[in-house]
Amino acid sequence: MVRKSKEIWKVYKNVFDQFTERLIFKLKTQKVIDELKSPIQIGKEANVFSASTPANRDVIVKIYRLESCNFNQMFNYIKQDVRFMHLKKRRREIIFAWVQREHRNLLKARGAGVRVPTPLAYLNNIIVLEFIGDDEVAPQLKNAIPKNPEKFFKDLMSDYKKLYQDASLIHGDFSEFNILNYKEKPVMIDFSQCTPIKSPNANELLVRDIKNICRFFNKIGYETDKSEVISYIKEK
């Protein structure tokens, strides 16, 4: 078990270049975190860990990999965002802006009453988030089918409507992978691709989001209609 744990940490710690190590140390000196505890996930662009704080509570630490993440793809998304249209195509600047964007999007979503993790801090390629769960992080929707899919879906679409109408945002990467099922309530996560509704590609992203989530709920036996859902979200 110890050997396995060490191997897991070895894989996850490919994110820890000297620059990132210094940032983690800075977050510790600022008392944002105390220690990293457990690896949770290797994402497409980032590694996710649980961590403790000096106040003895758990948080999530998401660290974007500086050398191996696809900054070209990030740039293709962020250049459409009216808030970042003057950003130059430089790897680190794009990654840092990507993290700042996720932090801002989460604050806006939370301000609109959407169930999301509270963003607690960010520093260059690191963002610290509220821990959603009890002893363990809440499972992704793909691994925790709701007991009442109809109610779960309606709660989820109500939140998406708040995101669209009140925060003027579109998630941009909406699927069963980026929704947690916490005590039979949906919690949206991963807001780095989230974009304002004024962006040129906003409607394209909205259609893709709703198509993805309707596909999943149809698959688990709750029939949904993409066109009806989009109309509901856009309806004042």
- Tell whether 106 and 170 lie within a shared domain: no
Containing structural domain, residue 89: 2-130
- Tell whether 125 and 45 lie within a shared domain: yes
Active site residue 135: no
Residue 115 within a domain: yes
- Tell whether 125 and 183 lie within a shared domain: no
**Active-site annotation holder among 159, 190, 209, 225:** 190
- Tell whether 200 and 224 lie within a shared domain: yes
Amino acid 12: pLDDT: 53
- Give the residue among 173, 166, 214 at the shortest CA–CA distance from 190: 173
List per-residue pLDDT tens for the chain, 236 residues long.
Answer: 334 444 555 445 556 678 888 999 999 999 999 988 888 887 778 889 999 999 999 999 999 988 777 777 888 878 888 788 777 888 888 889 899 999 999 999 999 999 999 999 999 999 999 999 998 999 999 999 999 999 999 999 999 999 999 999 999 999 999 999 999 999 999 999 999 999 888 999 999 999 999 999 999 999 999 999 999 999 98
Domain edge (last residue) among 65, 98, 130: 130
- Tell whether 115 and 157 lie within a shared domain: no
Say if CB 83 and CB 195 are below 8 A apart: no
Residue 125 within a domain: yes
Residue 218 within a domain: yes
Tokens matching residue 60: 């999530």
- Tell whether 179 and 151 lie within a shared domain: yes
Please name the residue that has the structure tokens 């409607």.
203
- Tell whether 197 and 111 lie within a shared domain: no
204: Cα within 13 Å, side-chain hemisphere = 6
**CATH number of the domain to which 154 belongs:** 1.10.510.10
**Active-site annotation holder among 58, 173, 209, 225:** 173
Active site residue 190: yes
For residue 184, how many other CB atoms are within 10 A of its CB? 12
Residue 172 within a domain: yes
- Tell whether 102 and 158 lie within a shared domain: no
Of how many residues is the chain composed? 236
- Tell whether 12 and 116 lie within a shared domain: yes
Domain edge (last residue) among 84, 100, 130: 130
Say if CB 58 and CB 33 are below 8 A apart: no
Amino acid 14: pLDDT: 58
- Tell whether 100 and 205 lie within a shared domain: no
Tokens matching residue 194: 């989230």
Q: List, in sequence order, every residue forming a beta bridge with 137; answer none if it has no partner.
A: 133
- Tell whether 163 and 70 lie within a shared domain: no
- Tell whether 196 and 88 lie within a shared domain: no
Domain count of the chain?
2
Tokens matching residue 81: 């965002």
